[in-house]
Structure 1
Amino acid sequence: MRTTLIASALTLALGSAFAADAPVIGLITKTDTNPFFVKMKEGATEEAKAKGAKLMTAAGKKDGDNATQVAAIENMVAKGAKTILITPSDAKAIIPAIKKAQDKGVQVIALDSPTDPVSAVDALFATNNYKAGELIGQYAKVAMGGKPVKIATLDLFPGHPVGAQRHNGFLKGYGLQSLDAASNELAKPAEVVCMADTDGNQAKGQTAMENCLQKNPDINVVYTINEPAAAGAYNALKKAGKEKDVIIVSVDGGCQGVKDVAAGKIAATSQQYPLKMASMGVAAGVEYAKGGKKASGYVDTGVTLIAGKSVAGVDSKDTKTGLDLCWGNK
């Protein structure tokens, strides 16, 4: 069963043109189709090549696929990986597998998404997702110019740390009742008239927005967990003839997302840098393999607000800058 699972669910790449003592590093992402994780794999591949390391990669079938990630950890440890980089799909359920790997001397670094607790891994290289949320919340508040607000939040799924941090950070940035960055719950002040889960998926984002509009057709601000969900929300708003009456803000800053900002579909997005996360992770893996020094703690890999139009008092960059940097910032 285990062999079948690995063979059918994992994408495994192990270089062969390396010295026998080349460091072996594993990268496990939530999926291998989301452009965010494609860019992360690209960064890891480039850095591994530059550092003379062997890179193994694996991915879940979908966001939330913990079983595949557990199988990947076990497979990589068996094949000699000394460092595993992971974007955990389930922040709690993955921890026993991580601990087993650490007990065998493997360094485990989380990329982008923290475990719960964060201390379950040796280090976390990630965007400050709460700050990313705050930036788009601040932007939306100024852009609304003091008008009464009815907000829809198109979230990830319950209990996910990144989803909670972005959601609660957005509310905090808007000046509304919220929760702090340590909470995995989603705040719901009175101004939020609709909350829906999207799994970060465009189709589900469109359905969620359609349902929200049925509940409250006067929604005028939409927060989305990421840009695919934002694209879905825009499609629903356009279908309803409301796309010019609603501000959509999001997080990720991928190239397509920045293009959507330039096209006026998204007002602003907080850009993060997955290529940088992965590059830093591989470099830390090589350092551990060669010198025994482990990475530790949280490393902020940066966030930049990209806006179609700047607003007073909120620092942002234009879409040209966003396209120059989109997910490839080192």
Structure 2
Amino acid sequence: MNIRASQLATSVFAFSVLALAASVAHAQAQPIIGLITKTDSNPFFVKMKEGADAEAKKLGAKLLTASGKTDGDNAGQVTALENMIAAGAKTILLTPSDAKAIIPAIKRAQAQGVMVIALDSPTDPVSAVDGLFATDNFKAGVLIGQYAKAALGGKAPVIATLDLFPGHPVGAQRHNGFLQGYGLKSLDAKSNDL
């Protein structure tokens, strides 16, 4: 997929999720919806925010946005979640930086009647959120592994994987998928702690 198609897909994704969030937000004169991304520097999340901003304006919703200072900044995401609840958000869309550490904050939000939807990355457990819109990262890894094997055309591989930071299942899912797609056997990564 080229960059333009990727940006379009990201924008369509953001529009769809924001429209869903606006439709299920509690009855308010102007629905307040939160969007918390991992960072504000990753082009994927920049486009997600731009698409969400545009859709919020179109739908007449107020969009609150925040992100972690760095990828993996769970404390920043927890603070953003708490601030959005205090500001009246009834639906919060979240790209969790730490799949497990964010769970207590999500539970507190839900206890206050806030719907929390995970985007792009699942929580651990996935059932901790009210919904999930994400890539099948294992399948993506399988496809990349199959592609790499075909591209090497039978040559002996020298493979090193650079996975995401510990505590995040996306890297582990892509890692394990790649190994399966390539036909390699290795330790099963659970939460990217390899």
Which of residues 29, 36, 47 in structure 2 aligns to 1:21? 29
Distance 1:179 1:41, change over 3 A: farther
Map of 1:232-251 to 2, 5 A cutoff?
none
Change (3 A) 1:81 1:183: same
Q: Cα deviation per residue 1:202-223 (whole Å; 9 max; x = unaligned)?
A: xxxxxxxxxxxxxxxxxxxxxx
- The answer as to 2:147 corresponding to 1:139 is yes
2:100 aligns with one of 67, 92, 96: 92
Instruction: Kindly indicate whether residue 53 of structure 2 is the aligned counterpart of residue 49 of structure 1.
Output: no
**Equivalent position amino acid for 1:50 in 2:** K
Q: Could you say which structure has the higher strand fraction?
A: 1
Q: Give the Å deviation of 1:183.
A: 3.0
Is residue 2:161 matched to residue 1:153? yes
- 1:62 aligns with 70
1:179–1:186 Cα contact (<8 Å) kept: no
The answer as to 2:130 corresponding to 1:122 is yes
What amino acid does structure 1 have at the position aligned with 2:142? E
In the TM superposition, what whole-angstrom CA distance separates every residue of 1:36-64 from its partner, at most 9, and x where no partner exists?
Answer: 11011012112212211110000110011
Partner residue of 2:3? none
Counterpart of 1:149 in structure 2: which amino acid? P
Deviation at 1:159, TM superposition (A): 2.9
What does residue range 222-241 of structure 1 map to in structure 2 within 5 Å? none
The 1:186/1:61 distance shift into structure 2, 3 A limit, reads: closer
TM-score by length of 1: 0.49
2:171–2:192 contact (8 Å) kept in structure 1: no
1:113 is aligned to 2:121: yes
Could you say what secondary structure the match of 1:69 adopts?
A: helix
1:102 matched to 2:114: no
SS at match of 1:109: strand
CA offsets 1:250-303 (integer angstroms, 9 cap, x no match): xxxxxxxxxxxxxxxxxxxxxxxxxxxxxxxxxxxxxxxxxxxxxxxxxxxxxx
Deviation at 1:156, TM superposition (A): 1.3
Count of aligned positions = 167
Contact 2:116/2:129 (<8 A) preserved: yes
Contact 1:31 1:63 in 2 (8 A): yes
Give the SS at the match of 2:162.
strand
**CA distance change for structure 1 residues 140 and 68 in 2, over 3 Å: closer, same or farther?**
same
Decide whether the 8 Å contact of 2:100 with 2:167 is kept in 1: no
Hey, which bits of structure 1, 4+ residues long, moved more than 6 A?
none
User: Is 1:81 aligned to residue 89 of structure 2?
Assistant: yes
Q: Give the TM-score taking structure 2 as reference length.
A: 0.81
What is the RMSD computed on CA atoms of the aligned residues? 1.7
Larger Rg: 1
The answer to whether structure 1 residue 183 and structure 2 residue 178 are counterparts is no
**Aligned residues of 1:168 and 1:186 also touching (Cα < 8 A):** no
After superposition, the Cα gap between the structure-2 partners of 1:161 and 1:87, relative to the gap in structure 1 and judged at 3 Å, is same
Alpha-carbon distance in structure 1 between the residues aligned to 2:103 and 2:32:
21
Structure ranking higher in helix proportion: 2
- Give the match for residue 303 of structure 1: none
SS class of match (2:99): coil
Q: How does 1:300-319 map to 2 (within 5 A)?
A: none
